[in-house]
A and B are shown apart, each in its own frame.
Chain A
Amino acid sequence: MAISAAGIIFSSLNNNTLSRLTTDRTVAAIPFACRYRLVDFCLSNLVNANISNIYIVANYSYRSLVEHIGSGKDWDLARREGGITMISPFQTSYASSSPKLFSTHMEALRSMKEYINELKEDYVVLMDADNVVNIDLENVIKTHEQTGAEITFVTAAIPETYTSKTPRMMVSSVADKITDIAMSASYNVKNPELSLNIFVMKTHSLRTIIEEAEAYSLDSLTKLFLANYKSSNYRAYRHDGYVASVSSFLDYYKHSIALAKNPEARDSLLWKKGFPIFTKVHNSAPTVHTATAVVENSVIADECFIEGTVINSVIFRGVHIGKGTVVKDSVLFHGTYVEDNVELNCIVTDKDVHITSGAKLSGNENMPFYVQKKRKI
């Protein structure tokens, strides 16, 4: 029987460390892997599990997200019933002290309590947009049913690229039963695993959690987990596929380059059989490679015009690479125009950057150089 579940995606509630990429966009709208935005992975994971009633929670700079999602048609989510509902910023009395926008998962959940009370689905999947995975959620929910867990936490091995500067939820478990939770990077739990912040629970459990949080004035989901895990049946579901956990700009860069260089990463995220990633479609023409083009170990979107050399790079839609130009270990966002005889090394250009002839820009693989939107160099 088909599973009956709703999805709630949180865009940028726990992430202030991506500053450069999020100056004018919410985390879910960060471009990734040539033609996607982070939210595409969440939406596709849900849609591939036949979940079609989806709420997206975003508090700041969500305009590009709204534009990207449109009617939801591109994810087959323009439905008469269900589809995508944006939970937009809400000046709420649930938020602590003076009126402000919700800033934690729990505040957001409390602000959308009416929606949650009306859900007809048996299960809910909560997920953050900043852990990019391609996961079989149907299997996660089935496992959840079988184990009788109250909440299933999807976890993964801590990635090599993980830098301890950003706090992430870590869990440890014995025979999949969660025995410890820590909200820190210092690994003060045994055999820590990274929580991907994908939580599966019964809808009525979520309602109970919200009531409990209201009763005890808890403003954070993590605090509630920490208070309850010892007495509750919280279980871990280990995801073995590639995880692009985008908790910092450097993470973002490293995972992007991994897509170009590491076939396992891109096969796991983008080419998983039966699990396509959907995105807003643009009517872009195919990419032109001219007689002088050299492209190696790279992923390239549509409508690019390539006359130069591209190595170990991620090239978004509509990028122009001029003659004699060499682009290495770089990520060039949509509409980047690189003239002739330019050298780019470890560079991330935001949308519509223009780099003029003869320029030489170089970052370092541990400190990539970022060029902001519409900048001309």
Chain B
Amino acid sequence: MYCKKECIAMLLAGGQGSRLYDLTKQTAKPAVTFAGKYKIIDFPLSNCINSSIDTVGVLTQYQPLALNEYLGNGAPWDLDRSRGGLTVLPPYQGSKRSDWYKGTANAIYQNINFIKQYNPDYVLILSGDHIYKMDYLKMLEQHKATGAACTVATITVPMEEASRFGICNTNPDGSIYEFEEKPKNPKNNQASMGIYIFTTKKLIEYLEADEEDEKSSNDFGKNIIPNFLNNGEKLFSYKFDGYWKDVGTISSLWESNMDLIGQTPVLDIQDNHFRIFSRNTARPPQIHGKNSSAKNSLISEGCKIYGTVENSVLSGGVVVEEGAIVRDSVIMEDVVIKSGARVFTSIIDSDATVGEGATVGTENAGKDKITVIAKGTEIAPGATVQD
């Protein structure tokens, strides 16, 4: 009964995101709040629907409660479809075996039957921890034009950071002759974004072979892509030149939030040509009291601002009481900053309270010294919390 789809997406959203520490103790990384009212996973999901890809399997594993609730039936992304749409794919018990997802490739392997029921020509592999707006159809067009077995999306990164990424070494025609995972001496700065388009037949063939290989760590970057190359399959890179950020660390999450503010922000969240969709809550408009100030900031609905907010991103329902100061910070849902409290260069997770006159974070600390306050923390009046 499933109709055929040309291309379906498989979104890897099971990662723990351990380098986000307190922020991902109770929540999977893709469900971490970003840009006030969004979750990280809104970006790849919105990219899919904006690229007319209406069938998305979301592979979950780590702390899926908040994520599953957020995804629901996919309606916020217009992915509540009777044919296709959004399907959450957790690990499951099979008749022969039952396993957690051992690696990115194994996660897809375990869901080969999901892929097969749509009989797609192509499969798009995505991950749920990057902030970017991308039209996957353009990548698919290139994939079709080159006749590649696999196309790897790449982005130019600063040369000094290249050794942190999977680097694609390409011929002048864009075909990849070598893929180096986190090389010590990178030959160039074209980093893999962890986004792949596979011709379905080839993908299934290699996933099945990889599963037979007991030594394999069942990972796309470490095993599948190198195997494609070793066997002389046609591999191409697709150069993406928009905004892209891996928000896998506290400092990159903070930096990416800071990219949203300013007169001409690096990432314009209000750009409606390529809208990002999210699950909306019924909150009243934002309120600004007398003698309040909000400058150079992104402020969501339901906020009550009676103090001072500068260079910050505020999620829904944040209260900044009189005389309180919030600067260079990311404040998530329903945090209360009591009167006279001061918050500098911090990320405060939802439902936390900063007591009267308390100080959180260090003034002008910069991205390497971000103070993180966990969900629901209550900071005593007058206390000082610094990283």
Contact = CB atoms under 8 A, between A and B. Distances in A.
Contacts of B265: 288
Contacts of B90: none
Interface in B304-319: 305, 309, 313-314
B288 A295 contact: yes
Contacts of A296: 288-292
Given A288-B261, A288-B270, A291-B263, A299 B299 contact: no
Given A288-B270, A299-B287, A278 B282 contact: yes
A300 B313 CA distance: 16
Interface string B258-284: 000111010001100001111010111
Contacts of B262: 290-291
B295 A290 contact: yes
Interface in A8-37: 33-35
Interface centre among B270, B276, B280 (most CB of A within 10 A): B270
A285 B269 contact: yes
A232 B342 CA distance: 62
A49 B68 CA distance: 28
Contact of B286 (A290, A297, A299): A299
Contact of B270 (A285, A301, A310): A285
B216 interface: no
A305 B283 CA distance: 19
Given A281-B280, A288-B270, A302 B298 contact: no
Contact of B299 (A266, A277, A287, A292): A287
A310 B296 CA distance: 15
Contacts of B286: 287, 299-301
A70 interface: no
B37 interface: yes
B285 A286 contact: no
A287 B288 contact: no
Secondary structure class of chain A's binding surface, majority of residues: loop
A270 interface: yes
B294 interface: yes
Contacts of B263: 290-291
Contacts of B285: 33-35, 270, 299-302
Interface in A236-292: 263, 266, 270-271, 276-279, 281-283, 285-292
B16 interface: no
B116 to A, nearest CB: 33
A303 B270 contact: yes
A294 interface: yes
B186 interface: no
A289 B269 contact: no
A40 to B, nearest CB: 9
Nearest to A315: B285
A185 interface: no
Interface centre among B35, B36, B282, B298 (most CB of A within 10 A): B282
B288 A300 contact: yes
A179 interface: no
A74 B75 CA distance: 12
Given A35-B285, A288-B261, A290-B295, A283 B290 contact: no
Given A297-B288, A298-B288, A302-B301, A289 B282 contact: no
B297 interface: yes
B293 interface: yes
Q: When A and B form their complex, which 10 residue pairs have the shortest distance between CB atoms, in order from nearest? A: A34-B285, A281-B280, A270-B284, A286-B36, A286-B300, A295-B288, A285-B269, A289-B294, A291-B296, A285-B270
Interface of A: 33-35, 73-74, 263, 266, 270-271, 276-279, 281-283, 285-303, 305, 310
